[in-house]
Structure 1
Amino acid sequence: MYSPFKLGVKYLRYWLTASNGKGHGVHAPFVFEFITGVLNDDGFYYCYQQIESVRTQLKNDNTVLELEDFGAGSRVHSSYKRKVSEIANSSLKPKKFAQLLFRIVNFYQPKNVLELGTSLGITTAYLASANNTIPVITMEGAKAVATVAANNFNALGLKNIKIVEGNFDVTLKDVLYKQLTKVDFAFIDGNHRKEPTIEYFQQMLPHLHEYSILVFDDVHWSREMEEAWQYIKAHETVTLSIDLFFIGIVFFRKEQKVKQHFTIRF
């Protein structure tokens, strides 16, 4: 992974060169709609306060968990025993991006949601709250972490979430072929390495369709993740990508006759 200094330099370069995030000069109608209707939607939705209250509790929870780590590890900690508060403070997706995921699902109304990397369940809760009538399958490698997430879902009254525990290398195929025949929306946040990220993308390909949306977390986290992101963007099935630095979004819409890549300030 990149050092905090190098990541900071990359972020500064992104901020200075990205489109301004207001939609000015964007001639692709779909992207303009995404910017104005999703990215810049500053409404306060009903679930925000409840979920953020749970986040606050997690940040102050000193319960120690025994972890199994199947990914590239944390930027801050490497111990297999960690406090809930440490996980919450270093690993949870910030409110800004978790709420953006909510708005994407709320706006495009996919019929199902798949998440690779439940963590403590904050992003899952946002995804499930965007439409509580659709199934949300979330996958987590660490059993103790999944248990905390499940307790959070119960506290929030979310009934449309199913947690699949175990190594994604083993469990993803079963989910794709036995539980989801098609993937409408997926958030991939489970393994910050090139090969597994590309492998997850390739496993999902037969299950995608024109209106599928894939969101990849931390696409600039390391050189490996940037290489994975470049591979995914260049894939023949991808017609449009949006780079928000901390997440990357790809679309497969056939109306997009020419492949386009956008980097937008957010």
Structure 2
Amino acid sequence: MVYQIKSYIKFHWNSKNQHGVHSPFVFDLVTKCFYDTRKYPEYKDLKNYRNSLLQNKNLIEVTDFGAGSRVFKSNKRQVAQIAKTAGISSRRSELLFRITTYFQPSTILEIGTSLGLATSALSLGNKNGEITTLEGCPKTLNQCKLELQTLNINNVISVNTEFSSYLNASKFKPTTFDLIYFDGNHSKKATLEYFDLLISTITNDTIWIFDDIHWSHGMEEAWQTIQNHPKVRVTIDTFQWGIVFFREEQRKEHFVIRTTKSFFLDKILAVKNLWGLLN
């Protein structure tokens, strides 16, 4: 926990808004997507999805193949508590929706479904896209399927599987996935394994998003290894996410970007994030 706090303070000190970006591609992404303040009607669907989970007091038996939980001591967990502590935040859910809307990826892979908070954002961002989402826990995945039905989301293929087994067994063709959202096993070894197994699927326009890149010292080492990979051209560190682009026309650059352009809102969120790390 102390490590994450130190990492966040370092991030906040080094991060910039659009004024520190000299790449036209990244500048447009930041100003037209990250800082897009339009109130999309889909935000209401995302909110309703979240509220439905937060009101669900049922207990489910969770099978955890990842780095484990810093909150839960038992595998029997309340759905509402999983959504509150382990799910993507409301703000990041809306940002993920905007990123998907901005790039309109036709094929998406999500590694780590959990209760589907991110899945719903990916789906609503491009309703004509096809999403394959992987989850190791059958009970959690079943709960996600039930929630997706409430929004009439039908462009999601849910697979109950251990991630490494699925990725090793799959014979991926090039251009398989336009966007991959990595939110599974938050360990250095697993993250780099997934990276190596999927690197053959990239195209010039592929987008990869890694969650919790500052989760631990190991995850920060994995992020640095990814940044230094010869096929990686542009990366954006938003603290919670590491976003990767493979655009050959771009010179190799790494950005540390705040996801809000408001100075005062940024300070409020900084305090809120630090408080969240402490509690």
Whether TM exceeds 0.5 here: the answer is yes
Distance apart, 1:181 and its partner CA: 5.3
Matching of residue 125 in structure 1 with residue 120 in structure 2: yes
Where does residue 268 of structure 2 map in the other structure? Answer: none
Describe the shift of the 1:175–1:96 C-alpha distance in structure 2 as closer, same or farther (beyond 3 A). Answer: farther
| Partner SS for 1:152 | helix
Q: Structure 1 residues 262, 190: CA separation in 2 closer, same or farther (over 3 Å shift)?
A: same
1:254, distance to aligned residue in structure 2 (A): 1.0
Task: Measure, in 2, the Cα distance between the counterparts of 1:62 and 1:189.
Answer: 24
Quote the offset at 1:57 in angstroms: 2.2
> Hey, what does 2:255 align to over in structure 1?
262
In structure 1, the residue matched to 2:185 is: 191
Cα offset, 1:9, TM superposition: 2.8
Runs of 4+ in 1 over 4 A off after TM superposition: none
The 5-angstrom pairing of residues 216-235 of structure 1 reads 216-235=210-229
Unaligned runs of 5+ in 1: none
AA aligned to 1:240 is V
Q: Is the 8 Å Cα contact of residues 3 and 216 (structure 2) preserved in structure 1?
A: no
Offset at 1:12?
A: 2.0
Partner of 1:163: 158
Where do 5+ consecutive residues of structure 2 fail to align? 260-279
In structure 1, the residue matched to 2:88 is 93
CA distance in 1, matches of 2:60, 2:166: 22
Identity percentage of aligned residues? 38
Shift of 1:25: 3.4
Q: Contact between 2:4 and 2:215, CA under 8 Å: does it hold in 1?
A: yes
- SS of 1:75's partner is coil
Q: 1:253 aligns with which of 247, 255, 262?
A: 247
Aligned match of 2:108 in 107, 113, 119? 113
Decide whether the 8 Å contact of 1:51 with 1:156 is kept in 2.
no
Aligned length: 259
Residue type of the alignment partner of 1:136: I
* Distance in 2 between residues matched to 1:69 and 1:9, nearest whole Å: 27
SS in 2 for 1:177: coil
1:17 deviates by: 1.7
CA offset digits 1:125-180 (Å, max 9, x no partner): 010011111101111010000000001110011010010101001112445628x8
- Shift of the alpha carbon at 1:79? 1.5
Provide the residue aligned with 1:172 in structure 2: 167
Equivalent position SS for 1:151:
helix
Once the 2 structures are TM-superposed, how far is the Cα of residue 246 of structure 1 from its aligned partner? 0.6
Pairing 1:9–2:6 present: yes
Aligned amino acid, residue 13 of structure 1: K
Greater shift in the superposed pair: 46-55 or 205-214: 46-55
Q: Against the structure 1 CA distance between its residues 251 and 176, is the aligned structure 2 distance closer, same or farther, given a 3 Å change threshold?
A: farther
TM-score by length of 1: 0.94
The aligned amino acid for 2:208 is L
Counterpart for residue 80 of structure 1? 75
Distance 1:181 1:171 in 2: 18
| Whole-angstrom CA distance in 2 between matches of 1:174 and 1:137 | 15
**CA deviation map 1:42-99 (0-9, x unaligned):** 1111211122122122122111111111100122113111110121111111111111
Query: Counterparts of 1:123 and 1:175 in 2: how far apart (Å)?
Result: 23
* Alignment partner of 1:202 is 2:196: yes
Structure 1 partner of 2:48: 53
Q: Which moved more, 1:168-177 or 1:55-64?
A: 168-177
Q: Distance in 2 between matches of 1:197 and 1:134?
A: 25
